[in-house]
Amino acid sequence: QVLAVYCDAGRGLAAAHAAGLIHRDFKPSNAIVGDDGRIRVLDFGLARARARPSDKAERDEAPPRISPSASATLDLRLTRTGALLGTPAYMAPEQFLDRTVDAASDQFAFCVALYSALFGEAPFPGSTVLALCEAVCAGRVRTPRPGPVPAHVVQAILRGLAVDPAARWPSMDLLLAELDVGLTEHLVPARPR
């Protein structure tokens, strides 16, 4: 059921990407169940249009902007503005480093949320923004707890959590296709041969 709900939310992100929008702050509290039972992604307050290639070159050369005050304990689930845009607990490495944010960044946030929902803990350790930033940027993902989650679903999520955006899924649609396979296999019992 968790996987089905998240796949619906992921389709909302994919639709935003198809319309040329990057959410930049996907998290569970930015998705709701409508009266018709459909999941809707909302709060596009930090959204923006896709970056132009010239924007990417300029931003990727900039040094990281994590302030010393980031070492203070913070509620990592709240949206931060200023030097960091987004909710630290769901931010991709490129957001922490003030580099180009695109659909792969939304995919990362989606995978953080899905990992947390399936395993009951965040994929990256850190109780401060600085500690979390270091874990995310180093790719220090916690080993998923053993359980009923199919291995290829775990692998799909871990790929979406890659430090390098180019190593993630090429699109939300391809990630969702892989997760849908896991959903179908989990919900449909195997037929006897």
The angle at the Cα of 12, spanning 11 to 17, to the nearest 5 degrees, equals 90
Token code pair at residue 76: 């990592």
Angle between helices 103-119 and 172-187 (to 10 degrees): 20
Q: Which position among 8, 25, 36, 75 bears the catalytic label?
A: 25
Question: Is 43 among the catalytic positions?
Answer: no
CA distance 171 to 165: 11
CA distance 21 to 44: 9
Rg (CA), the chain: 17
Phi, psi of 76 (to 5 degrees): -70, -5
- Of 35, 5, 185, the C-alpha closest to 110 is 5
- Of 127, 61, 55, 123, the C-alpha closest to 92 is 123
Token code pair at residue 159: 């790929």
Which residues carry out catalysis? 25
